[in-house]
Amino acid sequence: MSFDVVTGAFGYTGRFIARRLMAEERPLKTLTNHPARPGAEDIKAEVAPLQFADRAALVDSLRGADVLYNTYWVRFQHGRVHFGEAVANTRVLMGAARDAGVRKVVHISVSNASEDSPLDYYAGKARTEKIVRESGVSWAIVRPTLIFGTGDILINNIAWLLRRFPAIGIPGRGDYRLQPVAGEDVAEIATWASEQIDNVQVDAAGPDTMFYSEMIESIAIAVGKHPRFLYMSPRTALRAVGLLNRVVKDEMLNEPELQGLMSELLVSHERPRGTRRLDNWLLSSADTLGREYASELDRHWR
């Protein structure tokens, strides 16, 4: 029987996709370098390494697969790893998928990816989309906004700050919008996309669009805090984040990420396909949200 492959099935978005496929009783394989991530113990998948240097081994690990769900990307440039390398690795992966005879690739991208974007993340993701479209494999591109759910980093860390400090910095006026989408919705949209005969590109966005300051308020309500909002210039906010970074030994939020947020790149211009609401999830996860800091550098770089 054929199986599906998820890159990073024990990672953040990959988990939601893997659980959805397990619910559909699809045999699963994952390509990952983190086969034992805490919180992913329920995911049953054959494991092979996610490596791009040995192309023949990569082709072998994909042979017999029906759908490849690709979540691979790097969140920011760090050390010697940069977006260009992630684009090149995506090209290797797509070439391997074609040579392995994979029927369909479902590529997880990001809302408002554009080759013209001044932000390397969004421009890089647009380049990966082009690679997918030209791969010779039937494809679907799913473009999430901000994904929320268990294991999330940004919202969890805002909750972490709110639990510890009586005030929170708001870059600018906090009046830029975002449209968060549940990880479960992203997984549903991704599996729907895998079933389409034609190639498709769709956003994955939730039902609610809110201002950044409103999202902070919702998180504060969930964790039972009444923070004072300190409105500050983006530069001052980034300086404050820089100080926090030293404490948590992480990159909480960097300048291009803040620019993307303030330019409303995490808002979709399509009819929302997601149905789950951020507020419901915040309230249902209030007990655990922000208890522990979630470190991107710990997850991927150490």
Which residues of the chain form contacts with ligand NAP (CB under 6 A)?
7-8, 11-14, 32-34, 50, 71-74, 81, 108, 110, 144, 146-147, 299-301
Of 105, 68, 80, the C-alpha closest to 201 is 105
Using the minimum distance from each CB to ligand NAP, give the nearer residue, 144 or 227: 144
Closer residue to ligand NAP in complex, CB, 104/143: 143
Q: 6 and 28 in contact (C-beta within 8 Å)?
A: yes
Write out the two tokens for 176.
């830029």
* Comparison of 228 and 269: residue with beta carbon closer to ligand NAP: 269
Q: Which of 204, 268, 181 is nearest to 69 (CA)?
A: 204
Beta carbon of residue 296, minimum distance to ligand NAP (angstroms, whole number):
8
Q: Least separation, in Å, of the C-beta of 111 and ligand NAP? A: 7
End-to-end Cα spacing for the chain: 37
Choose between 124 and 171: whose C-beta lies nearer to ligand NAP.
124
What's the one-letter identity of residue 144? P
Min CB(242)–ligand NAP separation in Å: 21
CB 243 to ligand NAP: min, Å: 24
Burial of residue 95 (number of CB atoms within 10 Å: 0-12, 13-18, 19+)? middle
Question: At its nearest, how many Å lie between ligand NAP and the CB of residue 228?
Answer: 27
Q: Least separation, in Å, of the C-beta of 157 and ligand NAP?
A: 12
φ, ψ of residue 274 to 5 degrees: the values are -80, 150
Buried b (16+ CB within 10 A) or exposed e, 291-301: eebbbbbebbe
Residue 70, H or E segment: strand 65-70
- Closer CB to ligand NAP, 211 or 229, in the complex: 211
Is residue 20 a contact partner of residue 187, using CB atoms and an 8 Å limit?
Answer: yes
Q: Which is nearer to ligand NAP, 165 or 214 (CB)?
A: 214
Q: Residue 142 carries which side chain, given as an amino acid letter?
A: V
Q: Are strands 138-144 and 200-204 parallel, antiparallel or unpaired?
A: parallel
The amino acid present at 243, given as its one-letter code, is: L
- For the CB of residue 129, give the shortest distance to ligand NAP in the complex, in Å: 11
Nearest CB to ligand NAP, comparing residues 232 and 262: 262
CA distance 67 to 195: 9
**Of residues 13 and 285, the one with the C-beta less far from ligand NAP:** 13
Specify the amino acid at residue 288: T
Which CA distances in Å does 112 have to 186, 294, 298?
Answer: 16, 26, 28
CB of 81 to ligand NAP, least distance (A): 6
